[in-house]
Structure 1
Amino acid sequence: MARFIFITGGVVSSLGKGLASAALGALLQARGYRVRLRKLDPYINVDPGTMSPYQHGEVYVTDDGAETDLDLGHYERFTGVASNKGDNVTTGRIYQDVIARERRGDYLGATVQVIPHITDAIKEFALGGVEDEDFVLVEVGGTVGDIEGLPFFEAIRQAGIELGPAKAIFVHLTLVPYIAAAGELKTKPTQHSVKELRSIGIQPTILLCRADRPLPPGEKRKIALFCNVREEAVIEALDVRSIYEVPISYHEQGLDDQVLRAFGIDDAPPPELAPWQHIRQRALHPEGHVNIAVVGKYTGLLDAYKSLIEALAHGGIANNVKVELNWVDADDFDPFGKDRHRLTDMHGILVPGGFGERGAEGKIAAARFAREQKVPYFGICFGMQMAVIETARHLARIEDAGSTEFGECRNPIVGLMTEWMQGNELQRRNVGDDLGGTMRLGAYPAILGKGSRVAEIYGSQQISERHRHRYEVNTRYRFALEGAGMNFSGVSPDGLLPEIVERPDHPWFIGVQFHPELKSKPFDPHPLFSSFIRAAIEQSRLV
């Protein structure tokens, strides 16, 4: 039977529970154990799919089409274990399921209450669907004491009792701030956080203490005494220069050893950390650098592009260079006039996904600049669509070329998808449908043209990539676009949906309808990002 590790957080949000969970999973995996990671999110949205990136950050998409919390991206990048719909749940989805059961009469006339019905549903999610995993790590979103998180804390409290100490432990992440005026690290916030956790019946087994400097032995003893944990179980979670140092740092502090000790495992093999040491070496000591401009509309909150940032870093690791990102707000962006200096020294231009008309003209202008100046260009989802519209307007001479996402236009180069195949099932969508969960979501296959640049990059003519979009390039314009030099080098197996475009007359100009960043990992960089950064290195030699 699997052992469960429940990971909670206190004091403040954004301490890095997701990263801590991913790093611990990676350490256990490095010792030869099979792991699975899950996330419980207390917000009432059914999933983050309809939430603004400024509210929630990136929406991470799994192979089976779940729109999930961005922490699942950390889980996949650090462990390589593919997440699915069963690995992320919200308050909204829990209540939706419980109410549906009540309407069907599944509760046989009982009064439906938070305890036991909601908490039972949470436990069913957290503990169910386990196959041959040795460890299941369950992260609880939010901060202890938040009113919306109480049902989740109650559920894991019950789970801890039902499973017993040999099968369940609790890891609590807290903050130990340094007060410069006093010249001291302060343990009181951690004490209060653990007190709050214990007041609802959960005694942490291990404390992960976020700090910007090492904890003096006296402070560790104080935390252990007041929080009722062993002194060795007070683990420093120190700031590091790269997130890919975290597994090594946690191992050096003894986190994985303490987890195994808590479960009574004393014969575990040492972790194989050579891959992580290699990644750390390349991340911290690159042989050069390239400048990449990211022209987007959510540049005010970089968590909106979390997987993209990491995938570009992976491309740098693959080529042993540091990728310097220059964020450009696409709104009112003019690379041929007042903003030309923003792209002058760039070795590559990337236009990521997005929704809505704001910033669209800036992204189209960025694609034109990259095409005319022969700067490597990578368009992802919306970035591909804007590159196609740019070609339609300036090379194919198609008047009023645009996207129906922005309203009616005479030549809808990009239009709403109304039908597509998902496996053997026909999916249909209409303009008035709900927004949540109605996009083309998850992994779909594509066929790459023989002899195309992308087929060479992938080393295959058959690929599978993850999608999250509602609009698609209109194939009615394919002949005109290809006549203007834009090759449709990747299409769906039925040939109806364009997946990849490229320009053979350009050093590196590729647009993809999917999100390749969602499948990139530090130890397995996505081939498109590796190739893009390699092209940027070549460009850097010309600038």
Structure 2
Amino acid sequence: MTKYVFVTGGVMSGIGKGVTTASIGKIFQFRGFRVSAIKIDPYLNVDPGTLNPIEHGECFITDEAWMFNPTNDQNNPYVSTKIAELDQDFGTYERFLGDFIHPSHNITSGQIYFETILRERKGDYLGKTVQIIPHCTNMIKERIVRIAKSEDLDVLIIECGGTVGDVESIIFLEAFRQLKLELPTNDTVLIHVTVVPYSKAVGELKSKPTQHSVKALQSAGLQPDFLICRSEIPMGKEIKRKISLFSNVQPQFVISNPDIQSIYSLPLIFEEQKLGDLISDIFDLKPRLVEFSSVNNYSEWKKTAQLFINKNINTVKIGMPGKYTDNKDSYVSINEALKHACAHEQVNLEIVFINVEKEGFQENLKECDGILLTPGFGTRGIEGMISSAEIAMDEKIPYLGICFGAQLFYVAFMRHIMGIKNAHSTEIEPNTPNPAVSMMDEQHKIVNLGGTMRLGAHKIVIKEDTKLFKAYNQKEIRERFRHRFHINENYMTSETEHKGLKISAYDETGKIVNAIELSDPDHWMLGTQFHPEFTSRPYRPSPIYLAFIKAIKKYKNL
């Protein structure tokens, strides 16, 4: 029987429920169990693919694309939709657990209500009044249990987004309550993540927000088994005792989750407080023999976590020009991929988010050791991003362009080096006379915008004698994509190659350019249509990000 861990959050959003969920999964992996995670998002979007990164954070792309088709109607585009764009927490899950997670693990209110209404119209509920309870809650429970059974999991962790008390998350908490009632007592555990703020005025941690949060959870019919308390400093016995008294949770089940230098140390902090043993005792799970690996082995994970504790002499300063710089969560996977590469190359990382819409940003960019031109959509800030690529060319600063950043690198080269001053992308300027970047042929027929891009992982064929081949040391790789527009190969002439630009990778059909780079051996400048950050791991950095950091070290003579 699968064991279920329900994770809820209180007090406020953004307190690290995703990292907590991933860390709980990790401590079960240390014990030899097969683990996965579900993320529930209470918003009405079917998936986060159309959400602004500033509002919601990064959109994570999965390896596999899933056709969400509630009524099995293959011909109706409003019924069947492709899902490979998930909440950013899935990136955290994959980086910690070292496994690909299927898109069906992201359950949104939009999916539940959409399916309920379609099934009602189809006639599945004939004679019945369709209601939130039991129809929507039953659907949520069915999704959860189906994943547990189909993947033969020992432990399934279900994180509910948002905070307890939000109107939109009530149906999911009710589904949790029903599952806890229906399943055997030792098959479920509820973990509530809260904040214990530190009052500098009086010099102590305050428990009142946690008390109120637990009461809100109890009013939904749920009593937490464990409290994981976020705080600036570690919690002592007295504050744990006080929280225990007013929350009806045993003192040893109140777990401290203090601010730490690296999130990858959190599973180790949980182990120090015996969280894994305590949950396993409730579940009556006995540890299994763990095969030696950098993913599942406790000692190896401890070595990996130590790499992220800054103790290096040298620091690399990477400028990230873009349009979503107001929210650092907009580029979570990129940030983590850079951290992975820097940790393994034994340099500290300083990321400088550069708003390309602000006057004088170019000087800030020239002070950086490397430039990573970020992905994105839309017209805002485009000229500043193109200018960033031109600065990299002129100053010979190591450069990595991801997706949109690769396309704008191509536009910048055509303008700056080839002299085609009006070269542009048709995404930005539909009537440009020189469409260096244009929409892919199959995208012209698209009506809906949600779930219709080229998504998921695809095979990439790399040309030998390129910087990209040197990074991967493979002719064929598999990475993840999210785009409608692509580099127009018609502008790659013999003169273009003579002036230093080359194509370093295609898709397996040979029709879609997957990567470009400068042929100059003394300047590492490369753009990828794919997103290598999504497959980077703390114990195994992305080859392209690792090559980028190595190029920066060479540029700085480190």
Q: Provide TM-score, normalisation by structure 2.
A: 0.92
Tell me if 1:193 matches 2:213.
Answer: yes
1:148 to 168, 173, 182: 168
| Counterparts of 1:213 and 1:460, CA distance in 2 | 46
Question: Which of 85, 90, 96 is the equivalent residue of 1:67?
Answer: 85
Give the letter for the 1:530 counterpart.
L
Aligned to 1:473: 487
Residue in 1 that maps onto 2:321: 295
Q: 2:473 aligns with which of 459, 463, 478?
A: 459
Match of 2:417 in 1: 395
Q: What secondary structure is seen at the aligned counterpart in 1 of 2:182?
A: helix
Name the residue aligned to 1:423.
none
Partner AA of 1:280 in structure 2: A
Structure 2 residue corresponding to 1:517, chosen from 533, 540, 555: 533
1:42 to 2:42 alignment: yes
Deviates most, 252-261 or 373-382: 252-261
Q: How does 1:89-128 map to 2 (within 5 A)?
A: 89-128=107-146
- For 1:311, the equivalent position in structure 2 comes to 337
Q: What residue is the counterpart of 1:442 in the other structure?
A: 456
Note if contact 2:459-2:478 (Cα within 8 Å) is conserved in structure 1. Answer: yes
Name the counterpart of 2:301: 276
How far 1:332 sits from its partner (Å)?
Answer: 4.8
Alignment correspondent of 1:21? 21
Q: Which residue of 2 aligns with 1:422?
A: none
State the alpha-carbon separation in 2 of the partners of residues 253 and 179 from structure 1: 24
Q: Report Cα offsets for 1:386-442 as digits up to 9, x if no partner.
A: 1101111122222411011112100111111232xxxxxxxx5436x2221111111
Which one of the candidate residues 429, 434, 440 is aligned to 1:417? Answer: 440
Contact 1:402 1:409 in 2 (8 A): yes
Give 1:221 deviation, angstroms. Answer: 1.9
What SS class does the counterpart of residue 72 from structure 1 fall into?
helix
Q: Deviations over 1:334-369 (max 9, x none)?
A: xxxx44431333221110101112111111111111
Aligned position for 2:30: 30
The superposition leaves residues 439-469 of structure 1 with CA deviations (integer Å, 9 ceiling, x where unpaired) of 1111111111122221121111101111111
Percent identical pairs in the alignment equals: 42
Q: Is the 8 A contact 1:235 1:254 kept in 2?
A: no
- 2:193 and 2:511 map into 1 onto residues whose CA distance is 49
Aligned counterparts of 2:320 and 2:117: Cα–Cα separation in 1: 44
Q: Secondary structure at the match of 1:64?
A: strand
Residues 340 and 151 (structure 1), Cα distance of their counterparts in 2 relative to 1, 3 Å cut: closer
1:282 maps to amino acid: L
Shift of 1:171: 0.6
Letter in 2 for 1:43: Y
- What per-residue deviation string (whole Å, max 9, x for no partner) do you get for residues 283-314 of structure 1? 21224211111111111111000111000001
Query: Match of 1:69, as an amino acid?
Result: D
The letter for the 1-side match of 2:32 is: G
Find the counterpart in structure 2 of residue 356 from structure 1: 378
User: Given the superposition, is the C-alpha separation of residues 267 and 70 from structure 1 closer, same or farther in structure 2, using an over 3 Å criterion?
Assistant: closer
Q: CA deviation at 1:274?
A: 2.2
Tell me, yes or no, if the aligned pair for 2:195 and 2:231 is still in contact at 8 Å. yes
How is 1:78-97 mapped onto 2 (pairs within 5 angstroms)?
Answer: 78-97=96-115
TM-score when normalising by structure 1 = 0.94
Aligned equivalents of 1:215, 1:376: Cα separation in 2: 44
Shift of 1:202: 1.1
Partner in structure 2 of residue 162 of structure 1: 182
Letter in 1 for 2:191: V
Q: Which amino acid is 2:435 matched to?
A: P
SS of match in other structure, 2:5: strand
Q: Distance in 2 between matches of 1:188 and 1:328?
A: 39
Q: Is the 8 A contact 1:396 1:483 kept in 2?
A: no
State the aligned residue count.
Answer: 529
Q: Please tell me whether the aligned partners of residues 316 and 347 of structure 2 are also in contact (alpha carbons under 8 angstroms).
A: yes
| Aligned-partner Cα distance in 2 for 1:98–1:340 | 52
Equivalent position amino acid for 2:299 in 1: A
1:208 counterpart (201, 213, 228) = 228
The answer on whether the counterparts of 2:31 and 2:287 sit within 8 Å (CA) in structure 1 is no
Is 1:406 aligned to residue 428 of structure 2? yes
Residue identity matched to 1:196? A
Give unmatched runs, 5+ long, in structure 1. Answer: 420-427
Deviation at 1:257, TM superposition (A): 1.7
Determine the structure 2 residue equivalent to 1:218: 238
Amino acid aligned to 2:506: V
User: What is aligned with 2:504?
Assistant: 489
Alignment RMSD, CA only? 1.7
- Matches for 1:358-397 after TM superposition, within 5 Å: 358-397=380-419
CA distance in 2: counterparts of 1:268 and 1:198, whole angstroms: 35
Partner SS, residue 317 of structure 2: strand
Partner secondary structure for residue 441 of structure 1: strand
